[in-house]
Each structure stands twice: as C-alpha cells, then as structure tokens.
Amino acid sequence: MIPIIMSGGTGSRLWPLSRQLNPKQFLPLADASMSMLQSTITRLSGLDTDLPRLICNEEHRFLAAEQLRQLGMEGSPILLEPAGRNTAPAIALAALQASEGDNDPVLLILAADHLVENQAAFHHSVNSALPYAEAGKLVSFGVVPTHPETGYGYVQRGSPDGNNGGYQVKSFVEKPDYETAKNYIASGDFFWNSGMFMFRASRYIEELEKFRPDILHACRKAIARREHDMHFIRVDRDAFLACPSDSIDYAVMERTADAIMVPLDAGWSDIGSWSALWDVSHKDERGNVLKGDVISHDSCNNYVHADHRLVATVGLEDLVIIETKDAVLVAHRNHAQEVKRIVDQLKHDGRCEHLNHREVYRPWGVYDSIDNGQRYQVKRITVKPGAKLSVQMHYHRAEHWIVVSGTARVTNGEETYMVTENQSTYIPIGHVHSLENPGIIPLELIEVQSGSYLGEDDIVRFADNYGRVKADQPKATVA
C-alpha cells in the first residue's frame, strides 16, 4: 500500500497565518510540535505501507522537502504540479507512475491538511478498507458526523457490503443548507465526505479512462515526459497545463458502480477555518484558545494567536484574533468562513500580504523583510551551515551585506573573499555574485538593497545547488 499525500491548496480561510507560498499544510496548527503535513505522515506509523509519495505545487517544493528531511525521509519522492488542476489529475499522475511496469499497488489517498485525533481508529478504518481495494473497489472514507455541518459534502450509505464494515454508496451530495444537514444527521445514513480514498492504481486509471479520458490523456503525456531533479519529479508543464481541472468526486467517485464507503470515527476535521480550529483546540476555563503572548480579561470563547507581540483582550466574546508580523485579523467566529473574502480583496488590490509572510523560507535558509521604502529594502538573512545562494545578478538594484554572526564566503564579480562579523561588502548593480556559509554555525547578515526596482523577480541565475536554474530560467526568479 502506497500513501499518496496531496499537499496542494492555499488555505485562504486561515489567513493571515496561511499564505499562498506558505499554506496551512506546512504550518503547526493543531500540534505545536509539527506541521499538518508532518502529522499526516507520522499517523501512518504502524500501518503496512511503503514510503509516502507527496504531490505538491512546484512553488512549495522546498518547504515540503525540508519538512520531510525533518522526519528523516529525505529520499521520499515529491511529485510536482506546475499548477493546480484539482484532485482528479493529481491522483492520476500518482496512479500512472505507481503502476508502471508490472506494479499495481493499492493507493491510500490522503490530504496533507486534515486532523485525525484517534490514530488507532484511523488505522482500523484503513485496514477495513484494504480488502475492498484489493478486490477492485474504490473506497471512500465517510466520517461519522457529530453535528449538522454545512461546510462538508456528504456520502449516503446503501446496503452493507461483506464483513469488513463497508457499505455500498447510495449517493454523494453537495454541501447542504443547515436544515438539510439536520435531516441528514437525523437519518443516520449520511456521513461527511472526508476526501480520503483507497483503490488499486489500475482501477482508478480504468474508471478515469471510462468517465474522463481527456484528463487521463493529458496526465499520460505529462508523466511520460517527466524529469527527475534530485528527489523532485517534474511532469511536462505544457501537457499538464492542458489538462482539465476536476475533483476525484465529480470525475470518478460519483459515477463509478464500484464505490464503497467505509466509516471513519477518528476525531477527523479538515481544519478549514478558524472556527473549526477553535472547535478542536484545548480551551481554558472560559472557552478561550490562547496561543503566544496573550493576556485575556473578562473574555470568553475566543481564538487568539499572537505571533510576535503581546495581544490583550478585554470583554470580548466569540472572536478570532490573529496577529502576525505584517497583518492582524479580527473576525467573529460565526463569520470565519468569510476570511477568504479578505484574501480576495488583497489579490484584487495588488497587495502582497496574501502571498507570503515577512519571513520567507528558502532551501538555503530564511530571510525577513524588516523594512522597505520607495528605493530601499532591508532584510535579515540567515544561511544554513554549508548552504549557498545561487550565483546570480540584478539589473536594477545594488546590495550592501553586513555580517552579524558567522562567516560569509562572497563571490563578487571576479573576486572571492571572506566577510566575518562586523564586516561588510558591497555588490554593485549588474555584478555576478553569490553568498555561501562555509562555517558550522548559521550565518546571519543584514542586507540593504537600493535601486529603482526591488522586486524579487529581478534575479537572473547562472548556477544553483538546488536545481532552480533549469526549472526557472529564462524567467527571472526569487533567490
């Protein structure tokens, strides 16, 4: 059995923590010690599975690789999507790759951003589903509902099927209104659609060929022309961009005659909003969830997250307050689903707060944009021991580097030299340059940029340790 972990999506309803370039699956939301993706991987422990295979957007590849490295899984393959095309094509890519040669494994399809509180119950449902998948069925995991929920689709169970606790699927239904959801719960026949599935690779391909041959054809072309870049697998960009976008539910599960539903009663949540995160989080005696440096007075049933400064509440109830370095959200918990409207407005206005945090992670380390003006920008840069930024140049900006701690090896035009603590160097416009940490402690420096244009797309790479030149050129890209 091969776990296929889908790690796409932007989690816009969890803004401002979740951003387009650092979405919720890479954040420690439900568990402070690990991200949602890492929790998804670790809950597989104890199941008889192969190494998980990750599917993620190309722009998230280094985040994903670093989080796998932290789990000691550097060799686990990461399949990169050039752009999001929903779940049906993503799973098709994984199924086509997994079924090459004489292989026909069972695939366990998981989302990277779901919470499962009861690992033993999760394992029980997975093991119950396995015989159905081995027999050629396409299994959907239906979550035993705890309340009328309008934010989920539902699966209606039909007749029991065999002795493994599964049911034939009578119907899949869209997200209902509240009264309809109440009727679903009262009937006892409706389960939340978890978005988790299990089937043999060949069976998914057969059903996709039957119902959406256009998707399968595009994915076959994309995977046939794939390239390996370290442990990243890059499919053909043009072929995949030509693929129609559709979910596995619409493309296959709602049409197949071989759908089975296996109940899942394991404390599941898709953590789709701040109110959902409040629901599953530990609360104080006043019903508050307080994260970070928070003082609460005469306040109840709030979710308050302070990232970088003290947040104090007085006489507040049923609110969500999220503080980050560059944005603060205040919303009523009953309107938490509408946070994505703010993200839409940020995009419409051409702002950047939906895109990334002030702190931006790169394969070589991290930078924090601490100040900026019309013709200048100041960054705090941390480079990991042994890491090196790409050999690059800029058309529109010059850079001053001041080393705060550690030692930098700098290439500046034809020269290569060391810069140590309290020393600085200057990179003129148009000079080919690179920055490297040859030491055993992190290199920290302040970078002051000046020029007529300071955008992150004013970078031309000539060499890179992380495979970004071939992937990104000729388009100028981020360091």
Q: How many Å apart are CA 229 and CA 213, to the nearest integer?
A: 29
- Residue range 344-372: mean pLDDT, rounded: 89
Report residue 130 as tokens: 């396995």
pLDDT tens figures, 385-420 = 999 999 999 999 999 999 999 999 999 999 999 999
When comparing pLDDT for 356 and 118, which is higher? Answer: 118
Distance CA 30, CA 37 (A): 11
Q: In this model, does residue 325 exceed pLDDT 50?
A: yes
**What is the residue-averaged pLDDT of the chain?**
92
Residues 89-110: tens digit of each pLDDT = 999 999 999 999 889 999 999 9
Give CA separation, 408 vs 401, 403, 405, 463, in Å: 10, 7, 9, 18
Q: Which of these ranges, 119-123, 162-166, 212-216, 392-396, has the smallest mean pLDDT? A: 162-166
Q: pLDDT tens digits, residue range 438-463?
A: 999 999 999 999 999 988 889 999 98
CA distances from 258 to 161, 169, 196, 199 (A): 11, 8, 16, 10
Q: 311 pairs with which residues across the strands?
A: 294
**H or E, element range at 399:** strand 397-405
229 pLDDT band (50/70/90 cuts)? Answer: confident
Looking at residue 470, what is its pLDDT? 47
**Residue 263: cis peptide before it, omega within 30 degrees of 0:** no
Beta bridge partners of 425: 401
Say if CB 307 and CB 294 are below 8 A apart. Answer: no
Domain boundary assignment for the chain: 2-269, 274-343, 359-472
* pTM over 0.95, yes/no: no
Grade residue 437 by pLDDT with cuts at 50, 70 and 90. very high
Provide the CATH topology of domain 359-472. Jelly Rolls (2.60.120)
Distance CA 158, CA 18 (A): 38
205, 23, 212: which is closest to 113 by C-alpha?
A: 23
Q: Work out the average pLDDT over 366-373.
A: 88
Span 215-244, average pLDDT: 93
What is the model's pLDDT at position 468?
Answer: 67
The per-residue pLDDT for range 15-58, each reduced to its tens digit, is 999 999 899 999 999 888 899 999 999 999 999 999 999 999 98
CATH architecture of the region 2-269: Alpha-Beta Complex (3.90)
- Across the range 420-434, mean pLDDT stands at 95
Residue-wise pLDDT tens digits, 260-309: 999 999 999 999 899 999 999 999 999 999 999 999 999 999 999 999 99
Residue in this structure with the two tokens 């003129």, named with its chain if needed = 428
Angle in degrees, 0-180, between the axes of helices 213-224 and 201-211, rounded to the nearest 10? 130
Query: Does the pLDDT value for residue 478 go beyond 50?
Result: no
- pLDDT at site 472: 44
Say how far apart CA 216 and CA 208 lie, in whole Å.
6
pLDDT at position 473: 44
Determine the pLDDT at residue 132. Answer: 96
Residue 477 reports pLDDT greater than 60: no
pLDDT digit string (tens) for 142-193? 999 999 988 899 999 999 998 889 999 999 998 999 999 999 999 999 999 9
- The more confidently predicted of residues 8 and 322 is 322
CA nearest to 462, candidates 414, 391, 363: 391
